[in-house]
Amino acid sequence: MNLRAILTTIVVLIAALAGTIWLGRGNSTLETGNSGNRPKAVEDDRPKVSETGPYPKAVVDEELYKFGEMAVGQSLSHKFVLKNEGEAPLEVKKGNTTCKCTLSEMKDNAVAPGESIEIELIWTPKTPQENFGQTATIWTNDPKNQEMKLQIEGTVNNLISFTGDSLGSPNWSLPIMSTEEPVSFTGKIHTKYLDDFKILEIISSNPGLSSSSKPLTPEELKEVDAKSGYGIKITGDPNKFPLGGFMERLTVKTDIPNNLKSQEQDNAHKHADHEGHDHKHGEQEQYKEFVIQVSGNHTGPIRIVPTFGVHWNPKTMVLNLGEFASKEGKEVTLSMFVEGTEQPLKILSQKIVPDFLEFELKKDDKFQSKTKQRYQLKFGVPAGKPSMSFGRGNLANVKLQTNHPNAKEINFRVQFISL
């Protein structure tokens, strides 16, 4: 009795399971059969190509335009001519572009057979690039030319170039100041892209650094392959610089608009002084400024001689302690020869950054000379200080005020990495 009930239950369950599987298959078949009623994927907005013809024929005069060279910030443009040489209207639409792309007006967004339109590309580079390029994609209903790539390419250079001791770089160096006589250097600032520009003002970061400018001669312009430019003479007065290396800057203010396009507008919009305005100008135009870094070294009456293995740069007056373990510290010794006074050199005051940097000046009484004195300089980082780095833009500094009439201020700079 119990066995019969169990068997009956099993049969019922098997039948139910079979029915479920059959229904599931039936539903699957129904869904497949109705798949045609599903909404289709959205197609792109390209012109539709006729299935039977007649067809248009898209012909462009050139697909690649090489503009040669231009300057950063300049805006250039080029018009491509697209002609329909087919037998049906040519539909044209813009696809993806990497620059500004404009189509000339078309009736019903189509070009009639035998007619043409202009496609203008406008580009404004933001950085110098040796191989600069932009592309505009054009879609048509020409079955043999449904997608066209219009391209421009060329080279983008800086608007302003500098000629000095480092070609093309706005980093100029003054000769070493070893006496009280001023030292000078002349560099050039020029451009091959502007017929003319004016230097309005040159501002120095140090009163001891003066400058003057004059337009380059035709021969000088030819030498640097430029249309316009200036020679800038910089002069350093040793009496206004502390002993040691220095880095100053000149800010050159010009009449070159930040928006180069506005220069053309300004030229077209100049008024004679006696002419009146019947309109108002917009906000005051902003003009380009250029910064020239000026480095130098004022040795004056002192000369530093490092001991073996010590890295000393006499041009910049920078002592490089290198890398060392912070738990061990580091100490180096240099010799300093002083001329121009019979009195012993005395430190009137000193400022050391960071304050844990050790410094010592000691006269060598055994050194015999009628014209100079010898001193021993010690620089050190104590053992056990935390790991730290004093590098190019963050140098440690030892600034001394002395009793020497021609070395009233001496500035030593130190770089190191403690690990």
Read off the pLDDT of each residue in 163-174 and give the average, rounded to a whole number.
Answer: 76
Which pLDDT tens digit goes with each residue over 341-376? 888 999 999 999 999 999 999 999 999 888 899 999
- The predicted pLDDT at position 29 comes to 34
Q: If you average pLDDT over residues 102-113, what whole number do you get?
A: 75
* Residue 69 reports pLDDT greater than 80: yes
Instruction: Name the residue among 147, 222, 150, 211 with its Cα closest to residue 182.
Output: 211
Annotation: CATH topology of 58-157: Immunoglobulin-like (2.60.40)
> Quick one: pLDDT at residue 98?
78
pLDDT bracket for residue 316 (50, 70, 90): confident
Higher pLDDT, residue 53 or 400? 400
Ranking 75-84, 103-112, 156-165, 291-300 by mean pLDDT, the lowest is 103-112
In terms of Cα–Cα distance, which of 248, 233, 246, 232 is closest to 177?
A: 246
260-268: average pLDDT: 48
pLDDT number for residue 33 = 35
- Which position has the higher pLDDT, 337 or 25? 337
Q: Write down the pLDDT at residue 250.
A: 94
Fold of 161-260+286-298: Immunoglobulin-like (2.60.40)
In the chain, which residues fall in CATH 2.60.40.10? 58-157, 161-260+286-298, 302-418
Q: Is the dihedral of CA 315, 237, 220, 229 positive or negative?
A: positive
Please determine, for residue 265, whether its predicted confidence score (pLDDT) is greater than 90: no
**What value does the mean pLDDT take over residues 164-169?**
65
Portion of the chain with pLDDT greater than 90, in percent: 44
pLDDT band, residue 83 (cuts 50/70/90): very high
Band of the pLDDT at 269, cuts 50, 70, 90?
very low
Grade residue 106 by pLDDT with cuts at 50, 70 and 90. low
Residue 39 pLDDT: 39
Question: Collapsing DSSP states into helix, strand and coil, what is residue 279?
Answer: coil
Average pLDDT over residues 203-212: 94
> What SS3 class is residue 34?
coil
Specify the 3-state DSSP secondary structure of 372.
strand
99 or 409, higher pLDDT: 409
Q: What is the pLDDT of residues 36-49, one digit of tens each?
A: 343 333 346 788 88
Which one, of 384, 383, 386, 365, lies nearest residue 375 by Cα?
365
pLDDT at 252: 95
**For position 105, what pLDDT does the model report?**
67
Percent of the residues in the chain that have a pLDDT greater than 70, as a whole number: 81
Instruction: Give tens-digit pLDDT for 376-393.
Output: 999 999 999 999 999 877
Instruction: Provide CB contacts within 8 A for 361, sequence distance 6+.
Output: 336, 345, 347, 375, 376, 377, 400
Length of the chain, in residues = 419
The CATH number that domain 302-418 falls under is 2.60.40.10
In degrees to the nearest 10, what's the CA dihedral of 403, 409, 415, 418? 50
